[in-house]
């Protein structure tokens, strides 16, 4: 099974993100139809993507996450700003404000999984919610030119009190996420 570790985002934040997506669709016109938009109810803040995990390793994965969660306290997360990855844009996202507690939590997860023998992710962590994926070169260029309109976007803040282990099943209609374990932050 494909697994990842994530933080769930409050519904009020996701409602603001959905409004942003609607504004972006409107600004893009017919080009918006060439974009794969992420449904807000499927959005999460990924802390670590594990990829394929044998069923027999799921208990170990949940154990690592639970152990890390016990060492960290809950915190507030501010969701704001919009950006893209790639040139031309391949992914548009909403970011999270710099947050030392979140960065420490993610680094602790990365280190703990590394010690347990899992592959390290050598990319710098960039906390974000994916808005959409762009396949068309021209649409990516167009979105890249429009993205500045949204750079001061603010969705608000929410409290983070747990870290979740999800299974991700890829289907023709999009990914289906199943919560495998929710670990409370208790530090």
Catalytic (active-site) positions? 44, 128
Query: Are the beta carbons of 31 and 142 closer than 8 angstroms?
Result: yes
Q: What is the chain's length? A: 187
Q: Quick one: which H or E segment has residue 131? A: strand 128-134
- Exposed (0-12), middle (13-18) or buried (19+): which is 166, by Cβ within 10 Å? buried
Cα 9 from Cα 48, distance rounded (Å): 16
Of 65, 78, 77, the residue nearest 4 (C-alpha) = 65
């Amino acid at each position: 099974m494909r697994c990842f570790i994530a933080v769930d985002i409050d519904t009020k934040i996701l409602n603001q993100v959905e409004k942003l997506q609607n504004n972006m669709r409107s600004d893009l016109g017919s080009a918006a139809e060439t974009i794969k938009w992420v449904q807000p109810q499927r959005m999460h803040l990924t802390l670590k993507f594990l990829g394929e995990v044998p069923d027999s390793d799921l208990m170990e994965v949940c154990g690592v996450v639970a152990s890390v969660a016990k060492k960290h306290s809950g915190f507030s997360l501010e969701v704001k700003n919009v950006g893209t990855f790639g040139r031309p844009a391949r992914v548009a996202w909403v970011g999270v404000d710099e947050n030392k507690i979140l960065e420490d939590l993610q680094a602790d997860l990365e280190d703990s999984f590394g010690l347990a023998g899992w592959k390290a992710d050598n990319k710098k962590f960039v906390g974000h919610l994916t808005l959409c994926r762009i396949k068309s070169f021209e649409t990516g260029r167009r979105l890249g030119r429009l993205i500045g309109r949204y750079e001061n976007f603010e969705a608000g803040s929410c409290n983070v009190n747990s870290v979740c282990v999800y299974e991700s099943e890829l289907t023709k209609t999009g990914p289906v996420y199943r919560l495998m374990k929710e670990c409370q932050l208790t530090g």
